Amino acid sequence: TRYSFSTLSHEIERNHATVIDYLTLMQESFILFVHYAYDFGRNEVKDKGDKKVYFLDPFIYYSVKSYLSGRGVWEVVTETLGDEDLSGGIVEGVVLSHLLMHGEVPYMREGRTFLWYYYDRSGRELDAMLRLRRGFRGIEVKYRARVDERDIRKVAPVRDYILLSRDEVDGGKDLLVAPVDIFLSLLPVSEGNI
């Protein structure tokens, strides 16, 4: 779910500056990361646009949800894995945290300088846009058995796309469909990452 800092502050009944401070602290503590949107019209990050927040590790999510709901961790894990939408969100977070670790050099090259997401006015979005030397690569995570090229939101400045599925493999001129587990196993981690 996308949030602006002001919407998030209203929902948790804290002021805007406090929410930013909390998120910054949790990001610097490697608990979560804030995923910013990119504006192709201005060719820059949308600082005032909606953001997404992901836990860096799914086990942090399970622990927090377990604590807040008063249920056992295993019960929360089982429930999450049984719900396609919840498990898809968890897998999306895992992919994004791996992409972040792939390109980040802490304190020198932060995630918001090379990894964003995109959304348009109609509400359609692209989960990740990775800046490459020769442009952008779009990545969409659809963790389900059947995926289709129409599942990905194509944006003019993005040249090629990767659609991550649960099982499917396919390829075309500008689109690669690959299983998430294979994609993650082939993604190297930055040598500068902690």
Contacts 24+ apart (CB under 8 A), 97-101: 97/33, 97/54, 97/55, 97/56, 97/57, 98/184, 98/187, 98/189, 99/128, 99/130, 99/139, 99/187, 100/33, 100/56, 101/189, 101/190, 101/193
Cα–Cα distance measured from residue 78 to residue 16, given in angstroms and rounded to the nearest whole number: 35
pLDDT of residue 65: 94
Cα–Cα distance measured from residue 131 to residue 47, given in angstroms and rounded to the nearest whole number: 17
Rounded to an integer, the average pLDDT of 137-160 is 89
Residue 108 confidence (pLDDT) above 80: no
Residue 180 confidence (pLDDT) above 90: yes
pTM of the model: 0.89
State how beta strands 158-165 and 175-179 pair: parallel
Residue 174 confidence (pLDDT) above 70: yes
**What digits encode the pLDDT tens for the residues 5-34?**
888 888 888 888 888 899 999 998 989 999
Q: What is the mean pLDDT of the chain?
A: 89
Residue that is written with structure tokens 């939408």 in the block: 85
Confidence label for 134 from pLDDT (cuts 50, 70 and 90): confident
Q: What does the DSSP assignment read for 127-147?
A: EEEEEETTEEEEEEE--SS--
Residue 35 confidence (pLDDT) above 90: yes
Q: Give me the amino acid identity at 58.
A: P
Residue 154 confidence (pLDDT) above 90: no
Confidence label for 164 from pLDDT (cuts 50, 70 and 90): very high
Any idea where the domains of the chain sit in the sequence? Answer: 5-186
Residue 149 confidence (pLDDT) above 90: no
State how beta strands 125-132 and 115-119 pair: antiparallel
CB contact set of 148 (below 8 Å; sequence gap of 6+): none
The dihedral sign for the CA sequence 4, 7, 11, 13: positive
